[in-house]
Amino acid sequence: MSLISPNDIAFAVKDFAGTCAPNVRFGAQRCYGDLKSTDDMHGVQGGATLIVRTTTLVVAQGALTGVTEDSQLTVDGAAYLVRVIEPQSDGSVHYLLAEKT
C-alpha cells in the first residue's frame, strides 16, 4: 500500500519539494510522483552482508500511459529504468526502478 494516497501525490510533491512543476517525465508526459528508496540488509554465505536498494515511484493510475518494463522515466532530473509495474487497489501504480547509469 502506498504511503501517500494517489489523490495527494500532486499536493505532497509540491509541498515537500517546494516546486509547482511535475517531477516525473515519460516522453512528452509529465505528472507528479512520490519516489522512495529503501535499503534492506541481507546476510549471505560467509557472514557478509548484502545491502539491496529498492527504489519505488508511486503515481496515480492513468497519470502515465504506455509505460512498460524497460521504459525510461526521469524523476527529479535523474534517469531510471522501469523494472516492475505494480498496479495497486488504492488507485496508484508502483514502478520499481533501477537507476540508469
Query: Do 64 and 100 touch, CB atoms closer than 8 A?
Result: no
Query: pLDDT digits over 6-52, tens only?
Result: 666 666 655 555 555 678 999 999 998 889 889 888 888 888 888 88
Look up residue 79 and give its three cell numbers: 534517469
Q: Domain range spanning residue 52?
A: 6-99
What predicted TM-score, i.e. pTM, was given to this entire model? Answer: 0.75
- 97: nearest Cα among 87, 84, 32: 84
For position 21, which CATH number holds?
A: 2.40.10
* Structural domain includes residue 1: no
* Structural domain includes residue 15: yes
Q: How many domains does the chain have?
A: 1
d(CA 14, CA 20): 5
